[in-house]
Structure 1
């Protein structure tokens, strides 16, 4: 990947796609139970075009369950799930893809030893010639992959190189560009910066912002409030399967977001116990009254 100082990594992003007015995806009081285990309960989430909705939470908070509901892998057992303001109940991930909802998981669903262009079209290869002697249209796939990557601001020196030779950040960016090319309107990113260093995380965050600028609705799943605050427009913090915080960027500071993400309320409740431990300075710990979460604004027309 090169950077010649023009645009993002040497390419100019395409004009943003025209945006619709209503939300692309909306959850209203959604939940999921596995028998007697309630993994998710009463979650409200709205994904709008041209916005990054960040979903934060510790391990076991319910982030994976939320992804599975929206991506069509699992069905919700309570509440409503709407796409383009129409109630839906997906039974397979293919149904979600057909409605423009694409998910980029941490493993990226790539084959490390295959070239970049093969991974770009993996499972959706272009072919040419009459049946039954159709064959791969390699030249067209290479040209299309190169053009689409450039449209997202990604310039690779050699599309023939195995995708496993790229850095983690570059592979994430290829996966994002692939999802956009195949018609994604809602892009779900599952912990895209979890295993990356600072520099590569910055590269991924740059392309998340590029996807937003193209008019996509982005759901950024992360446990890193600093990464979320860099690109996020709305923040939802999950804790033990429930929505602890729902606030726009203007309603919450990075410090408040970090406190909610780190379980600041629990730390405040234990402040008096920590104060009894020799050598522990509790002066900077938050008070419980400082951690009252902002109340999510009611939809227009409701009290």
Structure 2
């Protein structure tokens, strides 16, 4: 049986993230329209929809890339206002982008610690602590069961290895929410299984995960709930156990208009 979000002291946990009537438009284009949902600690929510459904725009608002045009966001019951991605990171919101946002000319370890480099020494005499960064990156890749090596250059890596580097970044900080945009696209079957196991590990640590994916088997394998979007609107928000791949496919294509 799939694990569910843990109870805190026997009480129903407060939603770690809550969106209320959130919309985002770009001029006359309405990318996200009046979307509300919440996610609890340790809950995995699959976010599905066709291309242009508004999934990525919604996630980018949570990640601080865009501000909502209308509506509000709350974290732990308090208003959440994000002006830029670094604000989201300060609140414990981490994202694995679909394009991975890696620097091809740097090593795996340098990419993992990009913007959060470790230093040793004091004041003007401090230098980058490469040894510790290589060692810690190696430990993370081992936890992920990835063949990626800390000293390898990203430009020489396979798609699966690049994904492992991007996911490893989220394990550096004490994330409250991890947003994953198509993390299992263009990687091998074995590496898909590793990514799904990582998501289970995050859930076990009480970290909420929002998983954007076109891969129906992945969502139904690891998610607790599935949210379906079409043309910028939320058309379903259901427990995985109460839905089916056929129903979700119908919602995505419009064969089924909307479900409670």
> Shorter-normalised TM-score: what interval?
0.7 to 0.9
Give the counterpart of 1:64 among 56, 59, 65. Answer: 56
| Higher Rg | 1
- Given that 1:169 and 1:196 are in contact with CA atoms closer than 8 Å, whether structure 2 keeps it comes out as yes
- Taking the TM superposition and a 5 Å limit, the aligned residue runs for 1:16-95 are 21-95=13-87
Aligned-pair CA distance for 1:155:
5.0
Mark the runs of 5 or more structure 2 residues left unpaired by the alignment. Answer: 1-5
What's 1:294 paired with? 259
**RMSD across aligned C-alpha pairs, in angstroms?**
2.1
Per the alignment, residue 140 of structure 1 pairs with: 132
The structural deviation recorded for 1:85 is 1.3
SS at match of 2:185: coil
Report the secondary structure of 1:123's partner residue. coil
Residue of structure 1 in register with 2:162 after alignment: 171
Matched, 1:96 2:61: no
- Aligned partner (choices 164, 172, 184) of residue 175 of structure 2: 184
CA distance in 2, matches of 1:249, 1:90: 30
**Aligned counterpart, 1:105:** 97
Paired with 2:163 and 2:40, the residues of 1 have a C-alpha distance of: 22
Q: Distance in 2 between matches of 1:178 and 1:37?
A: 33
State the aligned residue count: 251
Alpha-carbon offset, residue 232 of structure 1 = 1.0
Query: TM-score normalised to the size of structure 1?
Result: 0.76
Matches within 5 A, 1:149-298: 149-150=141-142, 152-154=143-145, 156=147, 158-261=149-252, 263-265=253-255, 291=256, 293-295=258-260
Shift of 1:157: 6.7
Do the aligned partners of 2:154 and 2:162 also contact (CA within 8 Å) in 1?
yes
Corresponding residue for residue 122 of structure 1: 114
**Whole-Å separation in 2 of the counterparts to 1:264 and 1:172:** 32
Q: Show CA shifts across 1:197-253 (max 9, x none).
A: 434333322222222222210010112222211111111111000011110112101
Question: Which structure 1 residue ranges, 4+ long, deviate > 4 Å from structure 2?
Answer: none
1:158: how far off?
3.5
Output one character per residue of 1:28-68: Cα deviation in whole Å (capped at 9) or x when no partner.
12111223332211212212221211111111111121012
Alpha-carbon distance change, 80 to 69 in structure 1, aligned in 2, over 3 angstroms = same
Cα shift readout 1:67-105 (whole Å, capped 9, x = no counterpart)? 121011111122221111111221111111100001111
TM-score, with length taken from structure 2: 0.88
Describe the shift of the 1:42–1:98 C-alpha distance in structure 2 as closer, same or farther (beyond 3 A): same
Gaps of 5+ in 1: 1-17, 266-290, 296-303
Cα distance in structure 2, aligned partners of 1:124 and 1:55: 29
Paired residue secondary structure (2:123): coil
Distance change >3 Å, CA 154–CA 109, structure 1 → 2: same
Q: Distance in 1 between matches of 2:181 and 2:103?
A: 18
Partners in 2 of 1:242 and 1:88 — Cα distance? 22
Q: CA deviation at 1:156?
A: 4.0
Aligned to 1:10: none
